[in-house]
Chain A
Amino acid sequence: MDVRFTTAGDTAFNVEFGEGIDRPTNARVMALHARLKAAALPGLVETVPTFRSLQVVYDPALTSRSEVQAAVEAELAHAADAPLEGTLWRLPVCYDPDLGPDLAELSASLGLSEDRLIDLHGSTEYFVYMLGFMPGFAYMGDLPPELEKPRRSEPRLRVPAGSVATAGRLTTVYPWESPGGWHLIGRCPVPLYDGARPSPVLLAAGDRVRFEAVDRARFDSLTAEAATGRFDPDTLRAAP
């Protein structure tokens, strides 16, 4: 598909690379994002990567749509489509039933055993397509097709922070207690948002994630470690 520009008022426009949620389309989004971050165009406020489009935010008091779009088109001609090699994270997750209250229902409706569901969830290296909804909320794909199930029809008003969840072909870890309609299958003891860190958000768009099952004792000790602020998230980086 050709690149398409859509308009979000006089402060932003979107550069759309496709219609669907897939890695090649997202790679083009991330390549232009990286390119524009480095270019630091005058009047450009920021760029926000999403699944299939890049939102370009500018200050209309300083520049104009036509100027910014021309500069973006020039960068587009040079943006490589090579997928970004983000950080690979190993995130612990405990799949105990009280931490994953939808595990039983989800596995039954998918016709899988709970163990098989857990194995499948941990068998994939996920890709962070984008962040949004709340600070640090990562939309990760692609879930194995056997685990695909639309969002719950009745969203929960309170999903506990750290909940590991699935919806459609996506998975996530809720960084905050918040409302949410995804299926909760476990809990990650590592805070994905920590305002005390230089970058408060652990995962970035373009990163990759592997979930590693831990037992309750390990979950509890990691939770306690994180609560004291002694936990070093760098220990979760996989060796390159």
Chain B
Amino acid sequence: MITPCLTVVRPGLFATIQDLGRFGHQELGMPVAGALDPIALRLANALVGNPPGAAGVEVVLLGPALKVEADGVRVAVVGPMALSVEREGQPPQPLEPHRSHTLTRGDVLKLGAVSGAAVAYLAVAGGFALEPFLGSLSTYVRAGIGPLGGKPLGDGGRLPLNRNDAPPGADVELPEPPDYGGGPVRVVLGPQDDRFTAEAVQTFLSADYRVGKDADRMGLRLDGPTLAHTGSADIPSDGLVTGSIQVPGNGQPILLLNDHQTAGGYAKIATVISADLPRVGRLSPGGTLSFRAVTVEEAEAIRRRQEQTIAAWVRAIRPVRPAGGVDLEALYAENLVSGVVDIVNGNGDILNRENMCGSCP
């Protein structure tokens, strides 16, 4: 039998396979990579019954078209994205994000433009049958590391599937698209805020910055007021994390994202807190942001509350309700399916696996 797969009919702009990151090998200079918006990936996985750290397709700006070469597949897209399905002999049919869809052989899933955020995620029930490298399925394109030869999805490529059919049960949905909140992006000052003038720190925390055109998975160049160092901008190279804000000699900050190099030699004024990384991961050129300082303890409390919110979103996943009115079939299905969902939550499976991954940024 031919391996079940999704065939890439059209690759989109820059779609890569990502999980929650390749941790544990930065001492080799190996970047972490991983999903720019880990919350969206976790929710997409929850919608198809996968563990939260399963790899999905990260879509940047414009998505691919994928043909189902399996008896069936259940998919879910999380992110503000237009999508549709084309079935042979039928006109294209729009699909909603933030829910699962059960597709059958020959269907072509078309992921369109991402609006208002740079990224969206596609998860498939059972995950992709791809070989992890150093424990992860994240793609790091600069060095060709990860599945599919470390490249973005290409024309005619194939995404092999672990399942040949959709799992039993009805399709499910998130009641609401996830709301990440707004306001200034929260940072913890340091590790080298003492290498900037007091005025520069003040400016950094009060100015508006715009994401420049040099923005990719490695980082965002921010346009705004320049930040003065007290001395040299250079330090002996030390470790970087996703969210590090380094400031080279020209005084223009660079916010590092998931494909950041493991170490760098520019002074870092501040670091974005982990709870706000999904927000900055969704920024694209032209987007604006400002910063507010919190302590490490505050950042930890914010992250704990966020984990509770994500858990509540996962618990709220329910069978899809047809538009308008009560539907007996849906009610019936809800009894069955919410039971399944409760079992998954009730024995802590989703939550425990979440914790076990140990790699949540």
Contacts and interface: CB of A to CB of B under 8 A. Distances in A.
Contact of B142 (A49, A52, A134, A199): A134
Interface stretch (B103-111, B173-181, B185-193, B209-217): B185-193
6 contacts: A11-B243, A59-B360, A60-B304, A64-B300, A65-B300, A195-B145
B239 A200 contact: no
Interface of B: 23-31, 133-134, 142-143, 145, 187-192, 236-244, 261-264, 268, 271-274, 296-297, 299-300, 303-304, 307, 354-355, 358-361
Given A9-B274, A45-B23, A134 B261 contact: yes
Given A49-B27, A59-B360, A11 B241 contact: yes
Contacts of A199: 28
Interface string A1-18: 000001111111110100
A118 to B, nearest CB: 27
A204 B30 CA distance: 12
B236 A62 contact: no
Shortest beta-carbon contacts, A-B, top 3: A55-B239, A9-B271, A132-B263
A59 B359 CA distance: 7
Given A8-B191, A10-B303, A45 B236 contact: no
Interface in A15-38: 16, 19-21, 33
Contacts, number: 155
B244 A8 contact: yes
B28 A59 contact: no
Interface string A113-133: 000000000000000001111
A50 to B, nearest CB: 5
Given A65-B300, A133-B261, A52 B238 contact: yes
Given A50-B237, A130-B263, A10 B273 contact: yes
Contacts of A195: 133, 145
A8 B262 contact: no
Nearest to A52: B236
Nearest to A19: B236
Nearest to B275: A10
Interface stretch (A88-96, A98-106, A135-143, A214-222): A135-143
B29 A134 contact: yes
Interface in A39-65: 43, 45-53, 55, 57, 59-62, 64-65
Nearest to B194: A6
A43 B356 CA distance: 10
Given A45-B23, A50-B236, A8 B300 contact: no
Contact of A33 (B27, B133, B242, B274): B27
Contacts of B191: 6-8, 13-14
Contacts of A46: 23-27
Nearest to A43: B358
Contacts of B241: 8-9, 11-12, 55, 57
A50 B145 contact: no
A43 B303 CA distance: 15
